[in-house]
């Protein structure tokens, strides 16, 4: 099993302490695990829809006409707003 150590300070630490106390979690780790699971479950339908509705059609178009694809340098230029 892997292990990750997080250090929370200020308001983030206070929020976690309140969550553990108010929701009666046995530990901060349990509260974080529960929050991560809820986040994962909420993102799955949106991620599936994005992959199906946006990514897959673009990939199909790229495969059908490879010349219409951008080079890595062109992608970087668009991402960073360079002409």
| DSSP conformation class of 24 | T
* Cβ neighbours of residue 77 closer than 8 Å, sequence gap 6 or more: 83
Distance CA 65, CA 59 (A): 10
Query: CA–CA separation, 56 vs 40, rounded Å?
Result: 22
Residue 38 confidence (pLDDT): 86
Please state, in angstroms and rounded to a whole number, the distance separating the CA atoms of residues 75 and 64.
19
> Over the stretch 50-76, which tens digit does the pLDDT of each residue have?
999 999 999 999 899 988 888 889 989
| Confidence band, pLDDT 50/70/90 cuts, at residue 35 | confident
Domain-wise residue ranges, the chain: 10-79
Predicted pLDDT at 3: 85
Return the half-sphere exposure (C-beta side, CA atoms, 13 A cut-off) of residue 65: 6
């Amino acid at each position: 099993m892997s292990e990750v150590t997080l250090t929370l300070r200020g308001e983030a630490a206070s929020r976690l302490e309140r969550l553990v106390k108010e929701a009666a979690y046995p530990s901060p780790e349990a509260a974080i695990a529960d929050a991560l699971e809820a986040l994962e479950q909420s993102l799955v339908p949106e991620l599936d829809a994005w992959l199906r509705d946006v990514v897959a059609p673009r990939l199909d178009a790229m495969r059908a006409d490879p010349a219409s694809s951008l080079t890595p340098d062109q992608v970087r230029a668009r991402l960073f707003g360079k002409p």
